[in-house]
Structure 1
Amino acid sequence: MQLWFLLLVAAVKTDEIQRENSCAERFAGVPGNPGYNGIPGRDGRDGSKGEKGDAGEPGHPGKPGIDGISGNKGEPGADGSVEEKGNKGEKGERGWPGKFGPKGVPGPLGEKGQKGELGLQGRKGLKGDIGPVGPKGIKGDTGAQGEIGIRGPIGPMGPVGPKGEIGNPGQKGSKGNQGQIGWKGDRGEKGNLGSVPIIPRSAFSVGLSTKFPPLNVPIKFDKVIYNGLNHYNPTTGVFTCRITGVYYFTYHITVFAKNVRVALVKNGYRMLHTADKYQGAEDQASGATILELQERDQIWLETYGGETSNGLYADPDDDTVFTGFLIFSTSETLAPIPLFRT
């Protein structure tokens, strides 16, 4: 191809030289019209193969190809042979006992369980034999005579007694001189109405509306059932004696979730103790006593013995109550009260 192109150029060059020589001897003619484009020449021959060029830089990675079609499921393999069961090994020696673990944290207080159903009545037991008669006790010494009590109010008038027999007539005395009849005196002024002694009164009955009260302090029974004379203070939980005399105190308590220790306290000294060991569900306990009080003596209930002995409980279905009242007064004088108040 290149050789053919060189021959064509040489022929054109030779023709131009001949034309220049002929035009030099003659005058230049009028330029002719441009010729038409010639027919394209034939393609040149292929050149010899060049040397191998340097390797180019690696191209960017192509996009991942499309997933191929899943192959067919293979045929199942042959069944494996079943080995015979081996002999049981000998029992190992007993290991040493482990160390005691740390004491766990006490769990939260559980909710109150439901009251169980009443069980069937048990069979009546056989009547026991009568025990032997004990020896007769020694007669005790006669006690000292007690103090004379306060005179009570005048009782109602009794029924009219039967009519008595007629007595014997006495001897007739000598007749004296008859005196003159005096003038009728003036009517006196009406006297003031008398007074009657006052009957001493003191009583209270209160209940608990919260559970697990604080230890070693008066329990504040804030649910007042009766406290008409205000001798009990629900704010402090203390009863203060206003009338010297003999009093009766009693309490009924409900126990739940813990053991309980309760004491009846007089002026800081525990006079009566009650304890109950919690067995499950809910327990009941009570106590009562008689005390002689002076004016301004103070009485209250308190729990003691640590937090595990503070199972005093109350809710709308289970009550814990504290009650006290005056049996009789030991005061020597009673203040009178008027019959009519103005």
Structure 2
Amino acid sequence: MSCVISVLVLLLSSASTNTRDNNVYGVCDGHPGIPGTPGRNGHPGMVGRDGRNGRDGMPGVPGQKGDAGTQGVHGPMGEPGVAGPSGPAGEKGVKGDGVISYNSAFSAKRSKSHIAPLLNEPVQFDVVIHNDQRHYDAVTGKFTCEIPGLYYFVVHSTVFKTSLQFDIMKNNVSISSFFQYYGNWSKPVSLSGGALMRLDPKDQVWVQVTVGDYNGIYSSTKTDSTFTGFLVYSDWQNAQFLI
């Protein structure tokens, strides 16, 4: 204790004379002090920030093409789908241009009389059955073509009391001729004949008796003799189909 007091006195009196590098000389050494208590552990430091992303590496060399794989097994067929409901009906379209229809037809018969027709003159079938286009003249017995084309004409005649031969004439040329012999039968018989011909406008067709002894065209209340003709097809109509 005396040594400690001596040191303090010396330090106070001459703080600068015997000090060098914070060491006091000329004072006796003391005993080692008691070890201090260990300090507490420090708190953990804050987490450091993430480092920057490195640069992308160079692309690698492409590998070799691999072998083709085996073909897979076909899958099962799917079930058919269910048909959907029908849609609504569409609107009706605009009516198109129709093909022009050409018509020409007539039919006539002789009146109920026993008068024989005139030789080499058109036979008059004076009772008109059909003649909408008025191409047949019941007064002259002639049909006059107004529409060019193919026509068919036919005559159905009752033969009684004498034989009959008649011709279907076109412009004073006989197109076809028909004959029926009468053998004094008690009842009338019939004679029919027809012809197909092409006509131009103003061509005329009629029936004609050419032999005086064979003029037995007959008609009565129970039997008729008729002359009929009609257009099969028109050349004008065929020309439209070729356009």
State whether TM-score is above 0.5.
yes
2:158 aligned counterpart, secondary structure: strand
Q: Give the aligned partner of residue 293 of structure 1.
A: 199
Matching of residues 118-133 of structure 1 within 5 Å: none
Matching of residues 146-185 of structure 1 within 5 Å: none
Q: 1:321 aligns with which of 209, 226, 229?
A: 226
Question: Displacement of 1:196 after TM fit?
Answer: 3.3
Q: Give the aligned partner of residue 120 of structure 2.
A: 216
Q: Give the aligned partner of residue 67 of structure 1.
A: none
Identity %: 37
Q: Give the aligned partner of residue 172 of structure 2.
A: 268
CA deviation map 1:193-225 (0-9, x unaligned): 975332010000100113311111001101111
Question: Displacement of 1:333 after TM fit?
Answer: 4.7
Computed over aligned residues only, the root mean square deviation of the Cα atoms, in angstroms, reads 1.8
How far apart are the structure 1 equivalents of 2:189 and 2:101?
39
Q: 2:134 aligns with which of 230, 233, 241?
A: 230
Question: Displacement of 1:283 after TM fit?
Answer: 1.5
CA deviation map 1:57-110 (0-9, x unaligned): xxxxxxxxxxxxxxxxxxxxxxxxxxxxxxxxxxxxxxxxxxxxxxxxxxxxxx
Matching of residues 92-107 of structure 1 within 5 Å: none
Gaps spanning 5+ residues in structure 1: where? Answer: 1-192, 335-342
Q: Give the aligned partner of residue 206 of structure 1.
A: 108
Q: Give the aligned partner of residue 252 of structure 1.
A: 156
Question: Displacement of 1:290 after TM fit?
Answer: 0.8
How far apart are the structure 1 equivalents of 2:98 and 2:156?
38
Q: Give the aligned partner of residue 209 of structure 2.
A: 303
Question: Displacement of 1:259 after TM fit?
Answer: 1.0
CA deviation map 1:212-257 (0-9, x unaligned): 1111100110111100110000011000011110011111000111
Q: Give the aligned partner of residue 86 of structure 2.
A: none
Question: Displacement of 1:261 after TM fit?
Answer: 0.9
Cα contact 2:168–2:195 (8 A) shared by 1: no
2:106 aligned counterpart, secondary structure: strand
How far apart are the structure 1 equivalents of 2:202 and 2:239?
18
How far apart are the structure 2 equivalents of 1:328 and 1:207?
24
Count of residues in correspondence between the two structures:
142
RCO higher in structure (CA 8 A, sep ≥6): 2
Q: Given residue 228 of structure 1, which amino acid in structure 2 is its aligned partner?
A: D
TM-score scaled by structure 1? 0.40
- Are 1:196 and 2:79 matched, yes or no? no
Structure richer in strand, relative to its length: 2
Q: Given residue 175 of structure 2, which amino acid in structure 1 is its aligned partner?
A: M
How far apart are the structure 2 equivalents of 1:320 and 1:225?
12
Cα contact 2:157–2:218 (8 A) shared by 1: yes
Q: 2:144 aligns with which of 240, 246, 249?
A: 240
Give the greater-gyration-radius structure (CA).
2
CA deviation map 1:265-290 (0-9, x unaligned): 00000111011111222111100121
TM-score scaled by structure 2? 0.55
How far apart are the structure 1 equivalents of 2:210 and 2:137?
21
